[in-house]
């Protein structure tokens, strides 16, 4: 459901239409939209160090049937980078500000990785704004969740100490499955080009990372009442895919989809199945 749109500041254009800006706690948030303005709304919330362009082919696939709103979290892209650390609660308030600025009363909310934690926070704090919830490649956090695999902890620590092009490439390769690295070098190169062109600033990256470290939602998940889809690549090296099972078991009205031969960026690696899973879920709900 949409309501009359608030005025939005227009900035530099993007491939998804004119970039607009919302305001949240004094921070500017850049957002864009794609698809039919009269169609049901989908809000995409990305993860650590990824801006609104980081969804690969999925944005275009969803925009065939939906009004898709994407935005840059605080600390990345064209949004402001206030001093950290950030929290998922603050970032959820940012997502609400984007919905308000876009004139969206209720949306299908899709969050991946850190964005999935922000989406959980949004659904718990403002359930009336969430038509359905999709949690991709994410975790309930805290001591209840399976921890980040050691290799990813090491790679992230190395990037924080030295955000070099080499270390960024290593993070990209770690974000997809071993099969993708071995057999689909062109996709790895495509994702890496995107990361180079939309390179995160270290201060924003660290501030966002702090939000993920302090997130814990398991005790609150059973009170979610909206339909929830949990979707996860089974070869995820960043967020242990067993967290998907934890989320699905904790949330009463949930459905679990596991994608074989896909890693943390499963929506880049298998965009058709990812997009089809979302569309079927939205239609059922």
High-pLDDT (> 90) share of the chain, %:
93
Separation CA 264–CA 141 (nearest Å): 16
CA dist 17 and 256 (Å) reads: 33
CA–CA dist 267, 221 (Å, integer): 24
pTM for the model stands at: 0.94
Q: What is the mean pLDDT of the chain?
A: 94
| pLDDT, position 257 | 98
Q: Which pLDDT does position 10 carry in this prediction? A: 29
Q: In what order do the strands lie in the sheet with 9-14?
A: 9-14, 17-24, 27-34, 67-71, 41-45, 107-112, 130-136, 228-233, 254-259
- 2 has a pLDDT exceeding 90: no
Which residues, other chains included, contact 157 with Cβ-Cβ below 8 Å and sequence gap of 6+? Answer: none
The pLDDT confidence band at residue 76, using thresholds 50, 70 and 90, is very high
- The full set of domain ranges for the chain reads 9-284
What would the pLDDT profile of 220-245 be if each residue is shown by its tens digit? 999 999 999 999 999 999 999 999 99
Architecture of domain 9-284: 3-Layer(aba) Sandwich (3.40)
Q: How confident is the model at residue 44 (pLDDT cuts 50, 70, 90)?
A: very high
Q: Which residues, other chains included, contact 154 with Cβ-Cβ below 8 Å and sequence gap of 6+?
A: none
* SS3 assignment, position 227: coil
Q: How many CB atoms lie within 10 A of CB 253?
A: 12
Q: Which helix (H) or strand (E) holds 255?
A: strand 254-259
Q: How confident is the model at residue 49 (pLDDT cuts 50, 70, 90)?
A: very high
> Does the pLDDT of residue 139 top 50, yes or no?
yes
> What average pLDDT does range 266-271 have in this prediction?
98
Please tell me the predicted confidence (pLDDT) of residue 70: 98
* DSSP-derived pairing of the beta strands 27-34 and 41-45: unpaired
pLDDT at 6: 34
Which residue blocks in the chain are alpha helix, DSSP H? 58-62, 88-102, 114-125, 150-161, 165-174, 178-183, 185-197, 202-213, 242-250, 266-269, 271-284
Q: Burial of 211 by CB count in 10 Å (0-12 exposed, 13-18 middle, 19+ buried)? A: buried
Query: Which band of pLDDT confidence, cut at 50, 70 and 90, is reported for residue 17?
Result: low
Q: How far is CA 266 from the centre of its chain?
A: 12
């Amino acid at each position: 459901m949409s309501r009359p749109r608030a005025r939005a500041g227009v900035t530099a254009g993007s491939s998804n239409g004119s970039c607009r800006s919302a305001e949240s706690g004094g921070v500017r948030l850049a957002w864009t939209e794609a698809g039919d303005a009269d169609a049901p709304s989908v809000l995409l919330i990305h993860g650590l160090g990824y801006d609104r362009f980081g969804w690969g082919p999925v944005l275009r696939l969803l925009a065939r049937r939906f009004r898709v709103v994407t935005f840059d979290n605080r600390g990345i892209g064209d949004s402001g980078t206030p001093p950290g650390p950030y929290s998922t609660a603050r970032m959820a308030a940012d997502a609400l500000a984007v919905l308000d600025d876009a004139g969206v009363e209720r949306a299908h909310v899709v969050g991946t990785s850190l964005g999935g934690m922000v989406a959980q926070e949004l659904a718990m704090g403002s359930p009336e704004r969430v038509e359905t919830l999709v949690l991709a490649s994410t975790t309930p956090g805290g001591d209840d969740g399976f921890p980040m695999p050691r290799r990813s902890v090491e790679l992230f620590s190395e990037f924080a100490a030295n955000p070099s092009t080499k270390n960024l490439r290593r993070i990209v390769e770690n974000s997809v499955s071993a099969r993708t690295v071995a057999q689909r070098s062109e996709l790895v190169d495509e994702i890496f080009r995107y990361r180079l062109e939309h390179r995160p600033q270290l201060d924003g990256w660290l501030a966002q990372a702090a939000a993920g470290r302090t997130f814990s939602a398991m005790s609150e998940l059973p009170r979610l009442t909206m339909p929830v889809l949990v979707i996860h690549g089974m070869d995820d090296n960043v967020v242990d895919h067993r967290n998907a099972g934890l989320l699905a078991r904790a949330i009463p009205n949930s459905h679990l989809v596991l994608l074989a031969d896909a890693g943390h960026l499963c929506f880049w690696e298998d965009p058709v199945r990812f997009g089809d899973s979302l569309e079927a879920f939205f239609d059922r709900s």
